[in-house]
Amino acid sequence: MGEKIHAGGCLCGAIRFEARGVAEKPHTCSCRFCQRHTGAPTAAWVEFPAERLAWTGSGGRPATWRSSDYSSRAFCPACGSSIGAIDDEPVVALLIGGFDDPADPTLAPQYHSFEDCRPGWLQVGTASGEE
């Protein structure tokens, strides 16, 4: 049995990806960049080294917008779906909602970043049950 493949993509299907192996750093984040990138008060992410990710859809690689001195936000130029962030390390952080199986327990967030930016009315749990 080979490495697990996590597949997913955008709303229109033009941008598709396959990420091989273990999803790293599954977490939620409430920083203002994530809020504005997704339009949601909290984003759920996992990371993969760039060499373990392939862009497989007809649209190729997603479009990007440079959001900081170390990262670019990725999105579909056709439908506008947020895909994730492509860091300079090179690491690709993918939004869990874009996976074909977002309920996969290996993608479950383990911690929450930027809790101080989270709206007080929003409760965010992790796989361990902690906020």
| Ordered per-residue pLDDT tens for the chain, 131 residues | 678 999 999 999 999 999 999 999 999 999 898 899 999 999 999 999 999 999 999 999 999 999 888 889 999 999 999 999 998 889 999 999 999 999 999 999 999 888 887 888 877 666 655 55
Q: How far is 114 from 96, CA to CA, in rounded Å?
A: 18
* C-beta atoms surrounding 43 within 10 Å: 25
Determine the pLDDT at residue 1. Answer: 62
Cβ 29 vs Cβ 43: under 8 Å: yes
Helices (H), 1-131: 32-38
